[in-house]
Structure 1
């Protein structure tokens, strides 16, 4: 980083953090404290109001902003989420530039806008965007749920489960306290405390209908942070499948949530999956056709055979 870029970056860091020591700035920009002292002097000579407090560090005079850019909360959130997306989906070079851009955006926001933007961003998390289109209803639900989270109001909705065999009921009515929204492989997921199950649950917005925000308030658990939240992994069933070399590369590139490991063999690729129910992989295996053979468990072998027999009868 050349001196000009570093001087601008120092101003941005001071605007973001408030007070920083020379040692902090030196570590941030991978240079010496002596260089930072010279940079601070150069900024002062250029008219940037840098204030130094012995034993505390450097700060900018209150009210100083560079540059004078004005964003609404919604504009700021859109830009910041955009940098999150670029950092995740692009290469390392663009990821670094996205981090730099995010820092500049945060630095020029007035405190009130910055605080509100942080509050909104804390309700959403981008894990893996995926390529699947999001329906208009899903987008409406994202907006409604985001507002309910910010206002700390419970919601109610009808929910369609993908595994009705658990309790024999595919459709259910739910009332929940919404804690946050997560985008996973193109699907929006609501993380919420479900009153029916009396525990934290995940709900796909694509399986919701009749979403309504209630007047009933709720409080977040004091120890809950969406950015740090990791759901319990209850995928306890191991599935092993042998696929032929003809489709091995395609299977590797699926990046399935269930894929745990793969091993190259002369006869093909042995893939190990971990799932909650073997049936969760049924459509994958059927899609691979004769190029895939289930090695275990026996229950999935039987299900594949049954489906193949049904298909044969239809044709």
Structure 2
């Protein structure tokens, strides 16, 4: 941390805590007490009213406030909740940066705005929609991929093409050039150029079983723009199911990535999905037991029969 950044950080600390000892500031910024003395002297010379109390510490003159920008309570909540999302959904490094950003935002809020923001924020909570293990797996993949994107380094990945680790999983080994990360349908996707397919492909982070960042670098294809790219939808297999009346709301709440529509009929709920392969929805369907009947395609009905027979042999 350079001197300018450290001096600004000292002001933020004094605004946030009211009183700080030189020893505490030195420990926090990993410098000497003498350096803190010089920083405080420089702040005073620059017109910042720092008050020193022997044996107690430093504080700012009452009424002095130096916000880099003024936030309303709603704006502060938006930033703080956004930082919560980053901490929850990105890797450990960005999670730590998000926490530090929250501390800085809270430090520059006036007392009334701080109290109002805390009141509003207490009514908002973000939850992990997915299994914690899956989320942790994605977080483990995010940091190396994010760095590979930044430094334009190719990546060697072991990729599973099916939804679950089952006997029907198909694994492949690819060399890819990572272009960008997209968060959609509660899942992280990697947009990358696949050397084997000679085309841009999308990879779910939860299906990347292992990865190695390579020394070789790449150049992004001319004209590629992650924010304007239109994703080609190759989910051509239509699946229709009927769920019992009592299961309708639960199905809707799952937010299945492949679900296209859900509508009531006389016997329950008709639900339509579009997938690339029936394996992508097989295990999810089995989890509903007798509450669901697959209407089409016949290939999925047959696979379910086979799975049920295998289950009967176990029990």
CA RMSD of aligned residues (A): 3.6
Q: How does 1:159-174 map to 2 (within 5 A)?
A: 159-162=159-162, 170-174=170-174
Q: How does 1:119-158 map to 2 (within 5 A)?
A: 130-133=129-132, 138-158=138-158
The answer to whether 1:190 aligns with 2:190 is yes
Q: In structure 2, what is the Cα distance between the partners aligned to 1:298 and 1:217?
A: 46
Write the deviation string for residues 156-195 of structure 1: whole angstroms up to 9, x where unpaired.
233333289xxx9933332111101123344432211011
Q: How does 1:40-51 map to 2 (within 5 A)?
A: none
Residue 209 of structure 1 and its aligned partner are, at CA, apart by: 4.5
Deviates more, 1:221-230 or 1:297-306: 221-230
Q: In structure 2, what is the Cα distance between the partners aligned to 1:137 and 1:250?
A: 26
Q: How does 1:212-251 map to 2 (within 5 A)?
A: 212-251=212-251
Contact 1:129 1:183 in 2 (8 A): no
Residue 137 of structure 1 and its aligned partner are, at CA, apart by: 5.7
Contact 1:129 1:185 in 2 (8 A): no
Q: In structure 2, what is the Cα distance between the partners aligned to 1:85 and 1:169?
A: 31
Contact 1:240 1:272 in 2 (8 A): yes
Write the deviation string for residues 9-45 of structure 1: whole angstroms up to 9, x where unpaired.
xxxxxxxxxxxxxxxxxxxxxxxxxxxxxxxxxxxxx
Residue 268 of structure 1 and its aligned partner are, at CA, apart by: 0.9
Q: 1:85 to 1:159 in 2, by over 3 A?
A: same
Q: In structure 2, what is the Cα distance between the partners aligned to 1:309 and 1:141?
A: 37
Q: In structure 1, what is the Cα distance between the partners aligned to 2:269 and 2:179?
A: 41
Q: What is the TM-score when the length of structure 2 is the normalising length?
A: 0.55
Residue 271 of structure 1 and its aligned partner are, at CA, apart by: 0.9
Alignment length (residue pairs): 203
Q: In structure 2, what is the Cα distance between the partners aligned to 1:261 and 1:188?
A: 23
Q: In structure 2, what is the Cα distance between the partners aligned to 1:129 and 1:225?
A: 30
Q: In structure 2, what is the Cα distance between the partners aligned to 1:224 and 1:84?
A: 30
Contact 1:130 1:184 in 2 (8 A): no
- Unaligned runs of 5+ residues in structure 1 are 1-65, 70-78, 90-100, 109-127
Secondary structure of 2:233's match?
coil
- Unaligned runs of 5+ residues in structure 2 are 1-65, 70-78, 90-100, 109-126
Which residue is equivalent to 2:82?
Answer: 82
**Structure 1: which 4+ aligned runs deviate by more than 6 Å?**
none
Which residue is equivalent to 1:15?
Answer: none
The answer to whether 1:266 aligns with 2:260 is no
